[in-house]
Amino acid sequence: MDIKLIAADMDGTLLDSAKRLPEGLFPLIAALRARGVRFAPASGRPYHTLYAQFGAIADELLYISENGAMVCDGRELLSFAAMPVGEVCRAVQAARRLPGVQVIVSARSGSFYEPTDDAPFLRAIAHYCARRTCVPDLLAFVRREPVCKVALFCAGRAEQVLLPAFRSFAATTQVALSGVDWVDLMRPGMNKGYAVGALCARLGITPAACMAFGDYLNDLELLEAVGESYGMANGHERLKAVAKHICPSNDEDGVCRTIRAVFGIDKS
């Protein structure tokens, strides 16, 4: 097996239930790099959040952020798939009409939202968005600033509330369920699998040389795009059905354990 790229989702996959990176991950990434293997967090999280999470090794990583709509190599921006302004405005207006629904948009410079007292939403973005700004009028902001993703929030009810409410957007917009609280809207065809293709072109490799790990429905295209796909034991049943392999859960350090076993790397 000649793997040159490993992409791993974050929440529910690489991170445990307490949202912690695995112990020993950084030495493992260094061991992989010594073998010519690049590592890429692949997440719905914003780029700036991912970059901050990896601290001292941040510049060594590839990043699939915003569910594939923004791709970077360290600090270098490789692609940013801006949505049509009209679609972004339509999504913001639709979210405003739904009780209990909040919206945050992703631009190159960070994440932006409107004033709200929705405590679960504010806690969520404090965790997920390292570079976030509250603006008085989100519609005015998105009319002047390119946006690659609209993230819709409904606490614990994304699949039940948000997917039905935004189903009509699927004709013109990529709609992805990315967690129990979140649905993401992006340009058509934008997903983690598309981003893997962009990274393959960057590295001069084929998808067969890629390994990926995921747990939720926004990871479907990611797993379908690579030669070696792993669904987490704790993952969504639809996701596990398309995975080539099933690995231990995120709370059992499934990603790192699997990588060590495949590459024969001892735990440092």
Please tell me the predicted confidence (pLDDT) of residue 135: 98
Give the pLDDT score at 268.
65
Tell how strand 149-153 and strand 102-107 pair up.
Answer: antiparallel
pLDDT digits (tens, 9 = 90+) for 75-124: 999 999 999 999 999 999 999 999 999 999 999 999 999 999 999 999 99
Predicted local distance difference test score (pLDDT) of residue 176: 82
Q: Which pairing describes strands 102-107 and 110-113: parallel, antiparallel, or unpaired?
A: antiparallel
**What stretches in the chain show pLDDT beneath 50?**
none
**Nearest one of 82, 50, 37, 45 to 199, comparing CA atoms:** 37
Cα–Cα distance, 179 to 162 (Å, whole number): 11
- The DSSP 8-state label assigned to residue 170 in this structure reads G
